[in-house]
Amino acid sequence: MMKLRAAATVILLVVFSSCGFNKRFYAADKLQPDMVVALFNDVKSDTTFVHIEGANFQPVFTDSKHNPKDMGFTIESVVFKSESGNQLNGWFFKPEAGVTPNGITMLFLHGNAGNVFSQMQGALFFVKRGFQVFLVDYSGYGFSTGKSTREHFIQDGDAAIQYMVTRPDVKNTKVIIYGQSLGGHLSATVAARNEKLIDGLVMEGAPSSYKDIAAYQFRAIGPLARLLTKEKSPAYKSIEHFHKPLLTIYSTEDKAVPMRMGRKIYAHANQPKSFYEVKFPHIRAPEHYADSITYKIKTMLGK
């Protein structure tokens, strides 16, 4: 009887520990409506103010005297719904005059931390090179409602690409998904589920599975990390169902997601595919290799 009670106690501990453990994968960062944020530019020694206005959470950029400021791009903030019923927010970026559009629209799926505001710079590296970029927040992030769960993440990714391709300014462009880190893991599933809607996929610093990244990041508890981690659609399995061009980007200096996870995804992927090995820390490739990445994306799309 004592052994049975002890076994039952261990099972309950594992179950409850698993619930808390799996929440560690999400670092949802909320934003408040009607907020104003100051951005200081060290190079130009000036400050840009960002005002969030209206029900659609439209960002407006001004200088210190409240005059409109030309940022070299435009943002349209949009609100749309996921299958879960959650209201999602995304920012649709376009290059302004002086930058020639390259005919490619990118759905940018950011990692497990931050929101559209903090992740904006990653999108702008591509906007400055002629991409239209749709940067979205998952349920529970930024101005998006609901809870951050794996099921919601997948539904959110589906909703984002399905909304994006209905836009008149997207219909005559090539469409790709660019996923970073946990957003890269998600991108494999979303790309496979929506293959007919897109022309290619880019995965940067994406874990091969939740169990793999848990075992790596929580090495101190050994195999228990895998046991506590739920798994539904591991990226290395999802990518087996994707048959359009794939570009994977991984860094030799990445301490968050090791290169071997990228190799695992690549080994399971179908042709056509390419592997781009870079340097610098986790998901910093656009900052240092935007021109090369742009060239590789254009090449894989035949542009």
Report phi then psi at 7, rounded to 5.
-65, -40
Average of per-residue pLDDT values in the chain = 90
Count other C-beta atoms under 10 Å from residue 56's C-beta.
12
DSSP letter for 169, please. Answer: T
CA distance 52 to 55: 9
| Cβ contacts of 239 within 8 Å, gap of 6 or more | 188, 191, 192, 246, 265, 268, 269, 270
Three-state DSSP class for residue 196: helix
CA distance 112 to 143: 15
- pLDDT surpassing 90 at residue 6: no
Three-state DSSP class for residue 142: strand
pLDDT-derived band at 102 (thresholds 50, 70, 90) equals very high
Beta bridge pairs of residue 59:
52
pLDDT-derived band at 21 (thresholds 50, 70, 90) equals low
- pLDDT surpassing 70 at residue 4: no
Three-state DSSP class for residue 116: coil
- pLDDT surpassing 60 at residue 16: no
Question: What does the pLDDT read at residue 19?
Answer: 53
pLDDT-derived band at 266 (thresholds 50, 70, 90) equals very high
pLDDT-derived band at 41 (thresholds 50, 70, 90) equals low
pTM of the model: 0.91
pLDDT digits (tens, 9 = 90+) for 212-243: 999 998 888 878 888 888 888 999 999 999 99
Question: What does the pLDDT read at residue 35?
Answer: 82
Residues across the chain: 303
CATH superfamily of 2-27+72-300: Alpha/Beta hydrolase fold, catalytic domain (3.40.50.1820)
Is residue 171 classed exposed, middle or buried when 0-12, 13-18 and 19+ CB atoms within 10 A define those classes?
A: exposed
CA 29 and chain centroid, separation: 14
CA distance 300 to 303: 8
CA distance 77 to 55: 10
CA distance 192 to 239: 7
CA distance 4 to 212: 32
Do 85 and 75 form a contact (C-beta atoms < 8 A)?
Answer: no
Question: What does the pLDDT read at residue 13?
Answer: 39
- pLDDT surpassing 70 at residue 163: yes
Q: How far is CA 225 from CA 8, 153, 178, 230, 273, in A?
A: 20, 22, 28, 10, 31
Q: Where in the chain is the domain with CATH 3.40.50.1820?
A: 2-27+72-300
Report phi then psi at 285, rounded to 5.
-60, -45
